[in-house]
Amino acid sequence: MDTTLQDPLVGQLLDGRYRVDARIAVGGMATVYRAVDTRLDRELALKVMHPALATDVTFVERFIREAKSVARLAHPNVVAVFDQGAEGAYVYLAMEYVAGCTLRDVLRERGALQPRAALDILEAVLAALGAAHRAGFVHRDIKPENVLIGDDGRVKVADFGLVRAVGSVTNTTGTVLGTVSYLAPEQIEDGTSDTRTDVYACGVVLYEMLTGAKPYGGQTPAHVLYQHLHEDVQPPSALAPGLATELDALVASATARNPDARPDDAVALLARARRTRAGLSDEQLDLMPPRASAVDASRGPSGREPSADRTGSQERTDVISRALPAPESGVSHTARLVLPPIAPDRTRVRRRPALPRRGILAALTALLLVLGVGAGVWYINSGQFTRVPALIGKTEKEARQDLKNSGLDVRDVRKEFSETVERGAVISSDPATHERIRGNGSVTLIVSRGPEIVRVPDLRGESLDDAERALRDVGLAPGVVTKAFSQEIPQGAVIRTDPGAGTGRSPDSAVAIVVSKGAPITVPDVTGRPVQEATSVLEGAGFEVEVATERVFAPGAAGTVARQSAPAGTRLASGDTLTLTVSKGPRMVTVPDVVGQSAGEAKDALEAAGFQVKTEKSFPYLGDTVESQSPGGGDEAPEGSTITIKIKGL
């Protein structure tokens, strides 16, 4: 996404404390900004949940859980969380700002790393996870995107958003959270996760650092999940010749498909990694990666490009269904993946010698006689069968109804790409059309996902509702909605999409939408004006006005505007709301008695009390002692007003 797009939070003061300076990154659940804590004058990162998710109790609880979990960890390799709060639709975490890049950036730029560098990074990650594991919880989403490398070389683990307590129930709905390339087999099969699932993900990350590639490639996430379950991670040296066998053993130990065969937690894996390093020579540790034969970091060892990286985007954390079929939840940010069925091993099936036709009939007749079943019963049983109705080209809903009318059930619904059958229509069925099936049998429907590449429609000028509907109609998902000023596009209409119109995308990919805020309006300065007059000026400019219930002391007269929520000169949109804070007049302060003091002492005392000072001297100007003051000492005067002191002459 183009991070230069106007962001409504950039330039604002969030929760009266955090000044948002720039947007750093946008994820599936939150946006990260660089900000300044104006109270402590400290640069930090703000992770702000997308407002659309702030109404979802599950996501908010996960967000708050991240803050509480990380707050328990005081570790140099964990990104610290300073604060958590909310203002309106914005739920946020205030976190340590790490100037640098992610491990994914390093791998994308350099490919494979030298073993020494890979072990340096791994050990820092394991140290952070070890602290988490010993504190009683697991991360559940270790991947290069969540490993930050500072400009000073420090390595820190971020994004504890999926953290759960060790031993807690991790799945109750048939889904599991995680990132496809780094999920442990037990997470995929039954949703369980403990310290050993983090160990598995660290093993995958180590493999990626040593080879420049993920261990499993595949055309779809489902293919990758299938390999996690049924194939061992191959030795890194198979892809990067020359790597020490000790490194192969370290990766194999961490990525064992059976969790009982892995180190118990990050502390145990860290000890093993250090033993491995100690057993390697400097030559083995500093082995240069074979650039000429290195596999691109976005591809698996098979050379196939994983679907998670087909658009060049980072791997995202998804909700993955383990049930067949996957129920439709209607949540746009949820990816539901179905594992491909395991093909039976037909090489082990022993075929019996075929009986001659007469022998088959004789055997069948004998069997029927033994069971007391005559030819009449055989005929009656044939009436228990029906034929699958014609379903091709019908919608899934229509096909289900036709099957129900025929006394049949739907066993499963599989979705496949099709260039000829429109999205949502039936491509085929199993059993096929007109095949015989028992009257109470079930049928699998194969439904079209549409073409494998979908073109983003031109939505410029459309309303947001119409634009989101158009994206769903072509098989794409509405993504993050941001707003920007436009002199040409009316307020509320779409300015552009990201990616742009005509761009090819995979079905169900998210498309970000930029909506017009209309032409910008410059905020006038209404401080010092009576509230009614200030309200009229702002409403005349096109703004909504709210008056704060709390009144404050201010130099202006009571009933005038002490401050406005957006400073004069700020550019806002028509209909935006400005809050006015009303003055209850200046605070009255007792004037210090400074007669007899030196001019310097008197000025310091008066300014410390909150007053301005005006000095008058009698001719000739050679004295330095205060002869008189106005107002006099002990009187009350408005805070910030001017006190005149007269210096005695000779």
Q: State the 10-residue block means of pLDDT for the chain, 650 residues long.
A: 64 93 83 92 91 76 72 85 86 90 90 94 95 86 92 86 45 51 88 90 97 85 86 93 95 95 94 95 89 42 35 46 35 30 33 41 42 36 68 89 90 83 86 81 88 87 94 89 91 93 85 92 94 94 94 89 93 92 90 92 92 84 83 90 84
List CB contacts of 139: < 8 A, sequence separation 6 or more. Answer: 129, 132, 146, 157, 160, 162, 163, 198, 201
Closest to 217 (Cα-Cα) out of 207, 248, 107: 207
Closest to 84 (Cα-Cα) out of 68, 97, 106: 68
Q: Are 547 and 536 in contact, with CB atoms under 8 Å apart?
A: no
Residue with tokens 């009698």: 618
For 543, the 3-state DSSP assignment is coil
Q: What is the CATH number of domain 368-448?
A: 3.30.10.20
Closest to 183 (Cα-Cα) out of 157, 209, 162: 162
For 330, the 3-state DSSP assignment is coil
Closest to 337 (Cα-Cα) out of 205, 422, 228: 228
One CATH from 1.10.3210.10, 1.20.1560.10, 1.10.510.10, 3.50.70.10 for 101-340: 1.10.510.10
**CATH fold match for the domains 454-516 and 521-582:** yes
Phi-psi sector, 212: left (phi>0), alpha (psi -120 to 50), beta: left
Domain 1-97 has CATH 3.30.200.20: yes
pLDDT at 152: 82
CA dist., res. 266 & res. 198, Å (int): 7
CA dist., res. 477 & res. 463, Å (int): 16
Give the pTM: 0.48
Q: Cα 430 to chain center, whole Å? A: 38
Q: Which fold has domain 521-582?
A: Trypsin Inhibitor V; Chain A (3.30.10)
Q: Are 293 and 242 in contact, with CB atoms under 8 Å apart?
A: no
pLDDT at 149: 93
Q: Look up 141 and say whether it is catalytic.
A: yes
Q: Map out the domains of the chain as residue ranges.
A: 1-97, 101-340, 368-448, 454-516, 521-582, 588-647
Structural class in CATH, domain 454-516: alpha beta
Q: Are 450 and 418 in contact, with CB atoms under 8 Å apart?
A: yes
Please count the CA atoms within 13 angstroms of the CA of 241 that sit on its side-chain side: 2
Structural class in CATH, domain 588-647: alpha beta
| Helical axes 266-278 vs 195-211, angle rounded to 10° | 30
Q: Which of 141, 159, 248, 265 is catalytic?
A: 141
| Helical axes 266-278 vs 115-135, angle rounded to 10° | 150
pLDDT at 384: 55
Q: List the alpha helices (DSSP H) in 371-526.
A: 375-382, 396-405, 464-473
